[in-house]
Structure 1
Amino acid sequence: MVKFYQHSFSYDHPWQNVTLAFWLRYPNPFASHVLAVDVLDRYVDEKGVLRTTRLVLKKGKAPKWFPKTFLKNSEAFVIEESEVDPKTMTMVTRTKNLNHVRIMQIIETQTFQSGKQGENTTICKSEACIVSRFGWGMTGKIEMFGQSNFAANASKARKGMRHILQMIREKQAGGRLPFFHTQPSS
């Protein structure tokens, strides 16, 4: 059994700001589970597409019903690959966890596209596949946990992006931009 998550939403910000916010989204008050981010590779290919590979260290939590002996460390590395095409105003990101893949692996793809010409809107489509190979009669339960946890974390991620986008908007309006150690706006 495999669980899927799909969601579409929009940001009332131009595509350039949304892609910038994507790179600046950590740290933010809604992502305390993100411990570190490092760029492994970044280059512009022959078509003018910016390609980046980052490694993200996240802290997770296992459900109370999960046997503690199988998960000694709740930290996991996530690989994030992205392509930013300024000509088509499209950004595609793909992430997957590198640790604990037998217990549960989550593979997510997000596509950020500019709204209609002249609009300051960016559409984001998010799709995730949650799969467990754990067995022992727990696969379905683990995948259900992963799906509900992923949905809750996706909501926090959107709040974090909106927080960073608001700081970018304030900076562009001539305000000060305190990127780090800020409180969420209401």
Structure 2
Amino acid sequence: MKFVSSQCSFDYPWNYVSASAWKKYPNEMSSHVVAVDVLRREVNPETGILTTERLITCRQPIPRWLLAIVGGRDTSYVREVSEVDPVKKTLTLRSCNLTMNHLLSVNEICTYSPDTSDFSKTVFNQVARIEAYATFQRLCNKIEDWSVERFRQNAAIGKLGFESVLQKLANTVPEGMFKEVSTA
């Protein structure tokens, strides 16, 4: 089992980033994401929390040795459940792979929250647990190492892609529309 984590900051307020997250895909940097389908969306009337369940379809090259094990598929599916809490000002995304989960489990949690020292910025935290299941530990290690490297590459590309989406949307949104105000 391996863990991957990262943190970064976006130079936009939380209201803007959390609203823009729904437009993250497609983008020119993350061409491996080919479809995003909303399966369920509901608002809790007591808490105001918006919960959304999505199916994300990805297509990316997989090494030959891994294709031999999994049957030659380059299309995979990910289930994502997100919660937007307007009171705590958090957007939390939990995702897990549906494809090949008998061989490899990838569970990721991403959170977007206001930067408490600068409300014009948003802090992004990402944590993933990657675990391979195979008869031989050496094979598990090889699958996990490859998956960690691919995860890191996709995360870096995803950040660049989301930055471009944020920039494009910033050019179309009236100035001040998403201005963040401290409630403290």
Give per-residue Cα distances to partners, 1:37-69, cap 9 Å, x unaligned: 111100111210000000111113322433525
The answer to whether the Cα contact below 8 Å between 2:2 and 2:130 also exists between their aligned partners in 1 is yes
Aligned residue pair count: 173
- Which residue of structure 2 lines up, in the alignment, with residue 100 of structure 1? 100
The one-character-per-residue Cα deviations of 1:14-57 (angstroms, maximum 9, x if unpaired) are: 11111122100111001111111111100111210000000111
1:54-73 counterparts in 2 under 5 A? 54-66=54-66, 68=68, 70-73=70-73
C-alpha distance in 1 between matches for 2:140 and 2:109: 23
Unaligned runs of 5+ in 1: 175-186
Residues 1:67 and 1:25: Cα distance change in structure 2 (over 3 Å): closer
Q: Name 1:121's counterpart in structure 2.
A: 121
- Which stretch shows the higher mean deviation, 112-121 or 141-150? 112-121
CA RMSD of the aligned region, Å?
1.6
**Is the 8 Å Cα contact of residues 10 and 122 (structure 1) preserved in structure 2?**
yes
2:170 is aligned with 1:160: no
TM-score, scaled relative to structure 1: 0.87
Partner residue of 1:6?
Answer: 5
1:79, 1:98 within 8 Å by CA — same for their partners in 2? yes
Structure 1: how far apart are the matches of 2:16 and 2:135?
Answer: 43
- Would you say the 8 A contact 2:67–2:73 is kept in 1? no
Output one character per residue of 1:124-173: Cα deviation in whole Å (capped at 9) or x when no partner: 11000111102343100000000011001000110111011001211125
Q: Cα offset for 1:102?
A: 2.2
Counterparts of 2:165 and 2:88, CA distance in 1: 23
Query: Contact conserved, 1:41 with 1:54, CA < 8 A, in 2?
Result: yes
CA distance in 2, matches of 1:79, 1:119: 31
| Conserved 8 A contact 1:17-1:168 | no
Displacement after TM superposition at 1:117 (Å) = 6.5
**Structure 1 residues 135 and 118, CA, compared in 2 at 3 Å: closer, same or farther?**
same
Deviation at 1:118, TM superposition (A): 5.7
- With 20-29 and 112-121 compared, the bigger mean Cα shift is at 112-121
Q: Is 2:26 the counterpart of 1:27?
A: yes
Instruction: In structure 2, give the amino acid aligned to 1:168.
Output: L
